[in-house]
Amino acid sequence: MVIIIYAKKLFGAIIYRNLYSCSTSDICNSSPVWEFFNKSPRRVKLHICDSYSKVHLALEQESQGRPRENVPYRKQAKHENTYEAVGSFCHKNSICTKPTKFILCTVLNSCAKTVNWQLGLQIHAYMVQSGHEENLFLSSALVDFYAKCDAIMDARKVFDEMKVRDQVSWTSFIVGLSQNRQRRDALSMFKEMLGSQIKPNCFTYVGVITASAGLKEAFELGLSLHSHVIKFGFNTNSFVVSSLIDCYAKWGSIGHAVLLFDEIHERDVILYNSMISGYSQNLCGKGALKLFMEMRNKNLSPTDYTFTSILNACGSLTVLFQGRQVHSLVIKMGSERNVFVNSALIDMYSKCGDVNGSCCIFDQTCEKNNVLWTSMITAYAQSGRGSDALKLFEHLLTEEGFVPDHICFTAVLTACNHAGLLDKGIEYFNKMRTTYGLFPDVDQCACLVDLFARNGELRKAKDLMEKMPYDPNYVMLSSFLSSCNIHGEVELGREAAKQLIQLNPCNDAPYLILAHIYARSGLWTEVAEVRKLIQQRGIRNHSGWSWVEVDRAVMSS
């Protein structure tokens, strides 16, 4: 109807595509426009078959409101209202001869921000048709558009074909890779950029620091990025600093994050949010609460991000009174409809022992989603109400069309653990793969190991640890060792303790639990050996496990 991509006898086939006659999903599911461009760009003909005013009308119908034609299109695009921006774009072009590269760029920018795939494709098509294909600004905007629409392969094609690149095009692609969960590729691309003529700017550093956040192997790179930031004077840029704070916090280096935060005197809300979230992630709840108070004293309004992090901190500290105060503030600030905040509230109330509070939040939330449902199942599971958790889970599966993910299954298996339902737990664990196509990750395996171990099925727990494609982690082995102690399993306990000591040689718990296991079985020589080993290695008592019971057993023997 409006723009037809029409290629005659292309590789012997007649290919006809009418973008406007297709729905967005049709276009997404059809062969990409790229196929035409790549095979024979010059043979592809794009015809504008109708006036842009018809586009205007079509979009107007979709947008459920008339575009405000008196507002400049550029300003509208900045306000992230594609329909209005496009409305102005179309209106302008129904009276002009053709859209300029500036207009195309602005509309493409708006398409990227609002993920308007259909229109963005047409702008790309028009770029080819109108000879703007190699324009640096438009190509950069196109890279950004494809990346924001999760079409990173298309973004890469645009980027690779660019003859000239600048800081923006490099940064757009690096950030695009990062946002498309290809963070390692983003870091590689940054290294490639360093070898080019184009030098990174603060935008690039924000992108690459964000990409390296949470990647353990990128810690060294993170340190050198921090050095670069200082060297080039970006260490006062709040965007750069907040990304660095987040990075250090995710690496567990909360001290580095605090040093960075303290160096900034003009702190905006996002900097506070980064630091509060950093404290919260590193279980420094008191630091988070202190900073939250400081933020309030400076009359900075908390955002949904602030509430989510501070509620998380309240939950970790199990401070119900402060949690309720934050809840009041959430209502006052109008954040009670945010799904992140509500999930955090459910979590906070359950961790503070008030699972009825969690139920109230859950019931009052109108628009529930998978995250919220999982939060409530987790709240029940962690509060020892395993049967309620399973009841809710089954209800959601049958009544709400709920599709559980890995995290939900962790909650469900935890619930089975609390309810002592071994068979049910095995059934859900198997259903993960057979019904939902989810391969259990280390967390669900840990739940099942725990379930087996608590029910005295230590050999099955051991088999699972050996067969699963992950190394058993510390929590899993600790739980297994505790069960070995309860059920008096000497050989399995000895092996688990050995693995735990290898993972963390400074922790006294595995030694002491092993001593308890030996004492229960009357293996006094082995008890003495463990005691000697602890002394030789200078291991201090931190865990809370003591020798009192072991000594009592030795004495009574």
Partner DNA sequence: TTAGGGTTAG
478 touches DNA by CB under 7 A: no
DSSP-derived secondary structure for 264-277: -SS--HHHHHHHHH
Report, in Å, the least distance between residue 389 CB and DNA.
Answer: 10
**Quick one: which segment of 17-25, 272-280, 359-367, 530-538 binds DNA (CB under 7 A)?**
272-280
343 touches DNA by CB under 7 A: yes
Which residue number, 476 or 509, has a Cβ lying nearer to DNA? 476
Cα–Cα distance for residue pair 509/364, rounded to 1 Å: 44
Which residue number, 204 or 485, has a Cβ lying nearer to DNA? 204
Which of 101, 324, 368, 494 binds DNA (CB under 7 A)? It is: 101
**Quick one: which segment of 40-48, 221-229, 370-378, 544-552 binds DNA (CB under 7 A)?**
370-378
Which residue number, 198 or 426, has a Cβ lying nearer to DNA? 198
What angle (nearest 5°) sits at the alpha carbon of residue 408, between those of residues 406 and 413? 95
Cα–Cα distance for residue pair 557/540, rounded to 1 Å: 27
Which two three-digit tokens encode residue 116? 């308007």
Binding pattern to DNA, positions 429-448, x when CB under 7 A? ------------x-x-----
**Quick one: which segment of 61-69, 267-275, 320-328, 520-528 binds DNA (CB under 7 A)?**
267-275
Which of 189, 270, 496, 509 binds DNA (CB under 7 A)? It is: 270
Cα–Cα distance for residue pair 275/170, rounded to 1 Å: 29
Which of 71, 371, 553, 554 binds DNA (CB under 7 A)? It is: 371
Picking from 234, 311, 237, the residue whose alpha carbon sits closest to that of residue 273 is 311
171 touches DNA by CB under 7 A: yes
Element spanning 423, H or E: helix 422-434
Report, in Å, the least distance between residue 177 CB and DNA.
Answer: 12
482 touches DNA by CB under 7 A: no
268 touches DNA by CB under 7 A: yes
Per CB under 7 A, contacts with DNA among 387-426 are 405-408, 410-411, 414
**Quick one: which segment of 37-45, 240-248, 483-491, 545-553 binds DNA (CB under 7 A)?**
240-248
SS3 303: coil
Which residue number, 307 or 518, has a Cβ lying nearer to DNA? 307
470 touches DNA by CB under 7 A: no
Which two three-digit tokens encode residue 102? 């500036």
Cα–Cα distance for residue pair 180/145, rounded to 1 Å: 12
Report, in Å, the least distance between residue 74 CB and DNA.
Answer: 6
Which of 114, 382, 455, 482 binds DNA (CB under 7 A)? It is: 382
Which residue number, 371 or 533, has a Cβ lying nearer to DNA? 371
Is the Cβ–Cβ distance between 493 and 517 less than 8 Å?
A: yes
Report, in Å, the least distance between residue 171 CB and DNA.
Answer: 3
Buried b vs exposed e over 64-93: b needs ≥16 C-beta within 10 Å?
eeebeeeeebbebbeeebbbbbbbbbbbbb
Q: Where are the beta strands (DSSP E) in 34-112?
A: 45-48
Strands 13-18 and 45-48, bridge-based pairing: unpaired
271 touches DNA by CB under 7 A: yes
Per CB under 7 A, contacts with DNA among 55-74 are 74
Element spanning 4, H or E: strand 3-10
Binding pattern to DNA, positions 151-170, x when CB under 7 A? ---------------xxxx-
Which residue number, 128 or 523, has a Cβ lying nearer to DNA? 128
Is the Cβ–Cβ distance between 335 and 361 less than 8 Å?
A: no
Is the Cβ–Cβ distance between 77 and 118 less than 8 Å?
A: no
Binding pattern to DNA, positions 323-342, x when CB under 7 A? ---------------xxxx-
Cα–Cα distance for residue pair 484/283, rounded to 1 Å: 30
Which residue number, 113 or 516, has a Cβ lying nearer to DNA? 113
Per CB under 7 A, contacts with DNA among 296-325 are 303-309, 312
Which residue number, 418 or 520, has a Cβ lying nearer to DNA? 418
SS (H, E, C) 141-192: HHHHHHHHCCCHHHHHHHHHHCCCCCHHHHHHHHHHHHHCCCHHHHHHHHHH
112 touches DNA by CB under 7 A: yes
- Most distant CA atoms of the chain, gap in Å: 101
SS3 87: helix
Per CB under 7 A, contacts with DNA among 129-148 are 135-138, 140-141, 144
Which residue number, 190 or 518, has a Cβ lying nearer to DNA? 190
CA distances from 436 to 403, 432, 449, 467, 517 (A): 8, 5, 21, 21, 40
How many residues bind to DNA according to rule CB under 7 A? 81
Report, in Å, the least distance between residue 252 CB and DNA.
Answer: 13
Which of 378, 478, 479, 507 binds DNA (CB under 7 A)? It is: 378
Cα Rg, the chain, nearest whole Å = 29
Per CB under 7 A, contacts with DNA among 191-210 are 201-204, 206-207, 210
Sort 443 into a burial class: Cβ within 10 Å, 0-12 / 13-18 / 19+: middle
Which residue number, 277 or 507, has a Cβ lying nearer to DNA? 277
Which of 82, 118, 242, 478 binds DNA (CB under 7 A)? It is: 242
Sort 217 into a burial class: Cβ within 10 Å, 0-12 / 13-18 / 19+: exposed
358 touches DNA by CB under 7 A: no
483 touches DNA by CB under 7 A: no
